[in-house]
Structure formats: C-alpha cells, structure tokens
Amino acid sequence: MKKLLLIGAVIIGFCGLSWGLSQTRPDQDYLKIQQFKLLFPLVLSQVQAQKPQARILVDTQLMPTILEPEIKKMLQKWQAEHSQLAGAVVPDLSLKLRWETPSTHQDQLIAESNAGRFEARRARIHWTSALPPLIAVALALITQRLILSLFLGILAGSIFAADWNPLLGFVELFSKHGWAAISDFFHLKILLFAGFLLGMVGIMNVSGGTRGIIEALQHYVKSRRSTQLMTWVMGLLVFFDDYANSFVIGTTMRPVTDRLKISREKLAYIVDSTAAPVSGIAIISTWIGYEVGLFQDALDQIQAVNLGGYQAFIQALPFRFYCILSLTMVLLVVWLKRDLGAMYHAEIRAIEQGLVLREGATPLTSKTFNGLDAKPGIPLRWQNAALPILAVILATLAGLYISGGGLNLPAGGWRQLFTIQHLGAVFSSADSGTVLLWSSIAGCATAVVLVLSQRLLSLKEVSMAWGKGVSSILIASVILVLAWALNSVAAEIGTAPYLIAIFRDSVQPLWLPLLIFILSGAVAFSTGSSWSTMAILIPVAVPLAYEMGGATLMLIAMGAVLDGSIFGDHCSPLSDTTILSSIACSCDHLDHVKTQFPYAIITMFVAALVCYLPASAGWSPFPLIVLAVLALAGILLIFGRDPEVNAQYPPAPTNHLQATEPLRYSQES
C-alpha cells in the first residue's frame, strides 16, 4: 500500500511540475543570448577552418538588437584568442549574420560571405528542457531501478535535442552523449581512481589489514556515537579534495561502522555531507582554484569593483551558510543521537536486526567485494591497512603541490613557499584528476609490497583480491557514466539556462540571495554537477547582485551560488559526488539519497530563512550562524528520535546481509 501511495505521489508530482513548467514565461531575451553564445563560436570555428588568416568582420543588420553587444564582445575575444599573425596585414572577411528558426524546436545561426555559407543549429530552449532530469528522478523513485531510469531520462533529452526525432535521438544517445561521458579524460581518471582504490581495499581486506585496524580502533571507538564522531572528524581532516575524502573515509570506516551496527545509510550521510562542504570552504583544496577563477572572471565584468577572485572568496566565507550548517548538522545528529524519517528506521534495522543494509538493497559494490574477508589464520595487522591509506593521502597532497607548481619559487622567495596565498594558488592550478589516479596507484603498490614482503598472501591471491575489488565497481561505473551523459544532454537542451530564465529579473534585492541559493540548488539537482552550476550561475549572479545591492549583496550572492550548488548535489541521485559516496560506503544509492534528503532539506530551510534573508537585510553573518545552529539543534530534539532508546541488541551476525557465515576468500578462490 505504501508503495502504491509513493508511486501515485511521484506521478502526481511529476505531472504537476510538468504542467507548471509549461505555464512559465521565461525571459526570452536571456534565452536567445545564451543560445547565441553557443552558436556563434561554432560558426566562427567553421570560418577559421576555411579562412584561418582572415580578419573577421560582422554585419549585424539582420540580427536581433539585443544580441549586438554580445556579438561585439565575443568577436573581440575570438580575434584576440585566434590571431595567428599579430601585426601582419591580413585579408578581411565580412560575415552577414542571420537568425532563423528552421523548425519549432530548433534555433539556427547563419553567416553568409563571399567565402561561402556557414551555419550552426541547436535545440531551442523551452520548458521541455527541464524534463529529462525530472523523468530520471521520477522513474528512479517509481521503479527503484536507477540505471534504467537514467537511460530513459537521457533518451528523452536526446530526442528533444535531435529535433524530436526518436531514431536520431536514440543514435545520438550513444554516439554523442554517451561518448562525451566516457571520452572525457577527467571522467576516465575518476573511474580508474575509484577502481584502483577499491582494488587496494580488496587487498587490505584479504590480508587482514582491515580487520586489524578494526581491532586497533576498538580502544578508541567503543560506542556508536564515538565511531560516528570519529568519522566526522576524519572527514574534516581530509579537506583537500571531496573525491579523496569520500573514498578514504568511507572505505576506512565502513568495516568499523559495520561491526558496531551503524547503517550504511548513516555512514554515507556522514561521508557525503562532510566531503563537499569541507572541500568547498577550505582555503586550500582542489575546489578553491575553480571557484576563485569563476569569481575573477565575473569581477572583471564590474569595473567599479577593485577586488580579486581570492579576496572575494575569503570575504564570502562567512556567507557560506549551507556548508557551515551542513557540517554542523552532521555533528548535531551524531552528538544528540537524533535521527529523522527513513534514517531512523535504517538505524533501528541495523541495531535490532544487525542488518546495515536493508534486505533487497543493491549496494554500489558487488557482493563479491562484500564477501572479501581475511584469509583464515592470517595475522591481523593494522599497519597493512593504515599505511596504504596514508600513502594515498600523502601522495595526493604531494601530487597536488607538485602538479600545481608548488616547487616553483614564488616572487617573495622560499619563505613564501608554504604561505596560505601560495598554497591556495598551487592547489587551484593542480591537475586533481591525474593526481588522484596516481595516488590510488601508490596506495595499491604500498598494499602489495606490504603483503608480499610479509608473505601473508601469494602473488596469485593478491592478484585475485585486487581484481575482485576492481571488478566490484562495474555497476557503479555504469551509473556514473549515465549521470555524466545526462549532464551532457542537459547542457545540449539548455536545462540550466531555462531554469535561470524563469526567475531572472523577477525579484527584489532582499530576496535575491535566497532566490540564487534555491535556483542554484535546482540547477545542481537537475544536472547532477555542482561545478557546472557554478560556471553557469556565477557570471549571471555576481554582476546582477552588485548592480542591485552593492558589494555586500554581491558577496552574499557568491556564497549562495556555491552553497546552493552543493545543496543540489546532496539531494540529487544524479550527482557524481553522491554516487561516489554510495560507492565508498557500499550503500544502496537510492537508499542513501532518500535518507540524506530530509537532513539536506532542513539545513537548506534553516540556512535560507535564518541566514540568507536576514543577511540580505544587513545582519552580521556570525550571530546568524549561531541562531541557525540553535535552530537545527531544536529541530532535531523536537522531531528527531534516538534509535538506541529501548532498542534490543541481539548478538551481531557475522555478515551485514544475513546471519549465515559468508564464503571465505580461500573457498571463493
């Protein structure tokens, strides 16, 4: 009965949202400008391929008036970036631009000249642009089949992008959007990073290192609360990258939390709600360079502001309300021992039945991985787990420092090598994908050397343990690739620009940061990418906020964009960071999303009402943060429940899925 009610509610909600989107009146001028920004470079690329040495001139008589400033700005930037013969005499090539709509669902930009005709077309941005993510999420909730739901969402978006041609849309699903997801070097590096790290964990498990670290930690984490508290503290310490944070903390603490009958959903919540927020606000992390770069580009558009991107980032930190409160919420949940909704029932199940996963759950690592246990009779040495993990952390830090140019002597001399400013610039310039990949390989190598040098396993056993760990990520890899493909489709059909166009220029200064925060969350939820959301919204939100309310409102808006992006990621089953947290904790992905959702929503509402609105009215952010923390504590005390009160504690089963003993590794071999 409950399932039928859920299905009915999801269908009604989907239909209601679809109808509401169809009735919206977006800013058409804004949408046309966004389309032009994508079409004009395509036309210019065609021109350059045919006439690489020509200086391009543009006739805009047939173009909409609103596009003329954008044409001049983009053409000037293009000429500066593609000028091959600076100072030389080059022929002029005059382009006559024309905007057309060849079909109901497409926009086209045509450029005619003596050299020929150049054209580019894209799917028109309208209310159906927001449908593919909604379709994927709705089907996932109804069918509980995430892969199928993601595939159908991508298919719908691909059909929209192909001028509503089902056959062409199906072909481009694989040839265009699927290929874009798997051919991206950063995506490949993340998949390899996850695979190598799980291979390392497989070796750690079979060699007894994982069980050894459990025995060692028993002296320090003797209760469920102290274990969760340690997980939170470790999450704060691994602040330099959210991917590394999720995998290191999730894989390290998972066997410990299993032993103390803490649900995988709870572990995934602590890991996920710590990783991105702490990396997002850390002044030294792989995030800061991206965020500072976006701020700098936006500030360059405002001539009246004499502020650098890094300075703006630092000054906006007090207005990072959601990140600060998200980290605080995890601490309050752990310390007060209060859980809400589905998380409470997951914890009751883990405590009373010893099942850290619900029956029928599909963790994002295969059963083969969960069955990797220590070889019978092997000594349990914690060093065989701690040293590979330490190798990953140290290799990541060293790699980020070296990759970002940290060894290059700064202008101020060697004393500036380890200053906050220098470290921030170094980490922002690092190639995080490559560094994470090599750090996982270093961790694997450390684990192999330790095991073989102690003769705990044969080379064949090491290879099998590593292979089983790597192969366990197959399902999760498919989900990640599909999520990236959906992001590609969303970019193609203009999901994010449409959501922005609905609300743009329809709000007063007092409500602007709150609207930006909510809009940023909606875009991140729909696209599954916080970084893409930041790149889309910051160039719009920062100049708009400065124009409406000056420097203070601009800083609040900066914090709202960054925090809203992370909030949307926390709620979205399409987010790569959320998927990676489910992988690291070996949790059912939809269970993780459903149990984390109430905490994220509550934190969002408190941040919005207690912090963003008063801050926009001129309140200092620091007392607002204190009030918000008290509000979160009050909500947990009033509405939350302690799963350990009156709980029955049966003897812990030997397996988190069933009470029977799993097959030993030697038997599986």
Q: What is the mean pLDDT of residues 92-113?
A: 85
- Measured distance CA(137)–CA(486) in Å, rounded: 11
- pLDDT recorded at residue 271: 93
The rounded mean pLDDT for the chain is: 82
Q: What integer pLDDT is reported at residue 532 of this predicted model? A: 76
What is the reported pLDDT for 1?
A: 67
Question: What angle, rounded to 10 degrees, do the helices at 209-217 and 242-259 form?
Answer: 70
For position 601, what pLDDT does the model report?
A: 94
pLDDT at 28 over 90: no
- In angstroms, rounded to a whole number, what is the distance separating the alpha carbons of residues 331 and 42? 49
Q: Does 310 score more than 80 pLDDT?
A: no
For residue 627, pLDDT over 90 is answered with: yes
- Work out the average pLDDT over 555-562: 90
Query: Would you state the pLDDT for residue 286?
Result: 64
Residue 415 pLDDT > 90: no
pLDDT above 70: residue 370: no
Entry pTM: 0.76
Q: What is the pLDDT of residue 623?
A: 94
Which of these, 15, 567, 169, lies nearest to 329 by C-alpha position? 567
**How far is residue 578's CA from residue 569's CA, in Å, rounded to a whole number?**
7
Q: Is residue 62 within 8 Å of 96, Cβ to Cβ?
A: yes
What is the tens place of the pLDDT at every residue in 206-234? 888 877 877 777 677 778 998 999 899 88
Of the pLDDT bands very low, low, confident and very high (cuts 50, 70, 90), residue 598 is very high
pLDDT of amino acid 43: 87
Mean pLDDT within 477-500: 82
Which one is predicted more confidently, 633 or 197?
633
- Neighbour order of strands in the sheet with 55-59: 55-59, 92-103, 106-113, 116-123
pLDDT value at position 504?
66
Residue 332: band (very low, low, confident or very high) from pLDDT cuts 50, 70, 90: very high
Q: Which residues pair with residue 93 across a beta bridge? A: 56
Q: What is the pLDDT of residue 346?
A: 92
- Crossing angle (nearest 10°) for helices 512-527 and 474-493: 130
**For residue 646, what pLDDT is reported?**
67
pLDDT number for residue 412: 61
Is 138:17 a contact under the CB 8 Å cutoff?
no
For 144-169, what is each residue's pLDDT tens digit? 787 888 899 899 999 988 888 899 99
Mean pLDDT across the stretch 300-325?
82
CA torsion through residues 475, 476, 481, 485, sign: positive
Q: What is the pLDDT of residues 7-16, one digit of tens each?
A: 888 888 888 8
Give the pLDDT confidence score for residue 492 in this predicted structure: 85
| pLDDT band at residue 419 using 50, 70 and 90 as cut-offs | low
Cross-strand partners of 123: 106
H-helix segments, 572-611: 576-584, 589-606
Average pLDDT over residues 171-182: 88
What is the pLDDT at residue 428? Answer: 66
Q: Which residue has the higher pLDDT, 382 or 656?
A: 382
